[in-house]
Amino acid sequence: MAPEDEAFRDELRAWLDEHLPPFLEKETAEDGADDSRIAADATLRRRAAWQRELNRGGWAAIHWPVEYGGRAATAMQRVISSEVMAEYRTPGIFNTNGIWQIGPMIITWGTDEQKARWLPSILEAHEHWCQGFSEPDAGNDLANLRTMAIRDGDDYVVNGQKIWISTAHIAKWGLFLLRTDPTAIERGAKHEGITAFIVDMDTPGIECRPIRDMTGEEMFNEVYFTDARIPVDCRLGGEGEGWMVAMGTLGFERVGIAGQISVLGADLRAMIGAARTLNPDALADPGIGDRIAQAFTEIELARLLSLRALSRIIKGERPWPEVQFAKIEWAYLAQSLADLAVDLLGPAGVLAKGGPDTVDRGKWTRLYSFQRYSTIGGGSTEVQKNIIADRAIKLPGQARLT
């Protein structure tokens, strides 16, 4: 680790030692976000308060340029931040999409007016943001999207449907990909004619329909556009440049896998600690012991793989195919750790959120169901394997997964 990275880590730890304990001790409800859509959600209020605390210390958006409230942190420092935050078990932040993906895209592609208009609300957790890419026929094949935005004077008129849009029902703003060239798919140029827009979710003609998932929560949404009018000045980048905007956004998401792997390591240590208190006999089971050892080993291997990808980024090289391998490994580990958690906790592992005797507010029971998504979200495992087969291993076409 470079000296500047060690200094970065030490400064973050010192800041957390000073600010995290008093934050956890005080009531944070009065410091919540302004939007009435999240007023009743204590978790979101807590996340908003924590993001504001981070922002006061300059830790909310470390990878943003200094002039926009960040620290211009390197890819390695971003991983260090994720590792330290996981080590300290800090609360989550309010605007994850906004901070890590949408904000950087506005900085890269936005006009000065757009940056001044939207970046402060993201950074200060005043308004929630979502990201609207997937459609019923454009999930794994994002370039197949068909929600149309047709220019009409100073507006674009939008019609179509998005699906699996996280937190769209509580978001004030969203970054959406829309098709501005209706002929592109038919003429075999589906990556063309896609444009990025910042969308006000309160716009007439936009309807969000939450989807209740198997955990009983409503995080994902269907979003319908019916003659919704989006002003031209809400376009991010030029018309037809949406695919480049999207690839930059997904690039930030994929690099973030290194941080997610750090969280898995912290989760494993936490679930073992809970088992020592609630179900210590499980730790004496040789089969459970083998699974714990294997999990620790695979998490470390995945961490090293993600660091190898980061080293390529630092050198200005394409992180290929390490990022795809790391994403597959993270998805597998997320699901296997969720299975291990409920086995470690024994009878306590089936107590769901809301009950008086739940462990860690029902986190482990929830993850057992929720982590089924990990092999789909951010690029499904099957598609990632096909990409590796085609471009890295160069297998013949008939060997691809279907």
Tokens coding 319? 């992180």
Tokens coding 166? 């996280």
Q: Is 382 designated active site?
A: no
Cite the DSSP H helix spans in 315-396: 322-345, 363-370, 381-388
- The span from the CA of 103 to the CA of 101, in Å, is 6
Q: Cβ(299)–Cβ(258) under 8 Å?
A: no
- The span from the CA of 44 to the CA of 326, in Å, is 29
Could you write out the DSSP letters of every residue in 263-275?
HHHHHHHHHHHHH
- The span from the CA of 318 to the CA of 257, in Å, is 16
Active-site entry in 253, 322, 329, 382: 253
Q: How many CB atoms lie within 10 A of CB 78?
A: 21
Cβ neighbors of 237 (< 8 A, separation 6 or more) are 109, 195, 196, 244, 245
Residue 395 in 3-state DSSP?
Answer: coil
Residue 108 in 3-state DSSP?
Answer: helix
Q: Cβ(88)–Cβ(15) under 8 Å?
A: no
Terminal CA-to-CA distance of the chain, rounded, Å? 42
Instruction: Give the C-alpha distances (Å, rounded to integers) separating 190 from 127, 245, 305.
Output: 33, 15, 33
Q: Cβ(129)–Cβ(171) under 8 Å?
A: yes
Q: Is 257 exposed, middle or buried (0-12, 13-18, 19+ CB in 10 A)?
A: buried
Cβ neighbors of 185 (< 8 A, separation 6 or more) are 144, 146, 179
Q: Is 62 exposed, middle or buried (0-12, 13-18, 19+ CB in 10 A)?
A: buried
Active-site amino acid positions: 253
